[in-house]
Amino acid sequence: MRKHRAGAQARRDALLKATVEVAAERGMAGVTHKAVTDKAGLPLATVSYFFDSITELAVEALRVFTEAETAQQLALAAALKDASADGVATAFAAAAAPRLPETLALFEAFLHAARHPELRPEVAASIEAIRAIATEGARAAGSPDPDAAAFLALAHGFALHALAAPDTVAPDALHRAFRALFLGGLLDSGHTDLAVRLATQDR
């Protein structure tokens, strides 16, 4: 990664922030040199100064977003030690709540990767990073064999519905879904006593 002085770093950060905002507003296809620099309030040549291509800028914006998400999830995992099933569901639901423009931009990156394979490694890396943290968090809460892929897919599905049609998602729907998934996973893997114990902690 290139090193930059404070002023240059501020301009680079502004490009990354603008890229996320443009992706959320227009989709990844709308992430162009002009759109990003106009949003950032910077000269058109700024992108070329910091990045070799607009694709490199988009990938870097995705990486920075993923790092921030991972840090948030690490803090969540640390806070879940000995939590009840309800505590797990509450924490996961809060962390998975959609944020604008970041969450919308992330979904745009997913769709773009479906059509443009060059972005798939970065998207896959972001998914695997959050899955790993979800696994750590669920294990800290008492689940020996958590299905992190299911937790993440559930979070993304609810977030997408909440962004596209907010009135169709009840305020506590994701909380209830996470709790059911957490306890159901324990039952399905044969940890009946543990599921009952964690479930009764909430009563």
pLDDT in tens, 166-180: 999 998 999 899 888
Residue ranges of alpha helices (H) inside 116-172 are 120-140, 148-164
DSSP 8-state symbol, 168:
G
Residue at 6: amino acid letter: A
Residue at 75: amino acid letter: A
What's the CA gap between 98 and 55, in Å, rounded? 25
Model confidence at 82, pLDDT cuts 50, 70, 90, reads low
Q: Are 162 and 98 in contact (CB under 8 A)?
A: yes
Handedness of CA 119, 120, 123, 125 (dihedral sign): negative
- pLDDT at residue 144 above 90? no
Lowest mean pLDDT among 20-24, 45-49, 131-135, 155-159: 131-135
Instruction: Say what the alpha-carbon torsion angle 69, 75, 76, 81 is, to the nearest 10 degrees.
Output: 150
Whole-number pLDDT of residue 62: 83
Sorted by where each starts, the structural domains of the chain and their CATH numbers stand as 59-201 (1.10.357.10)
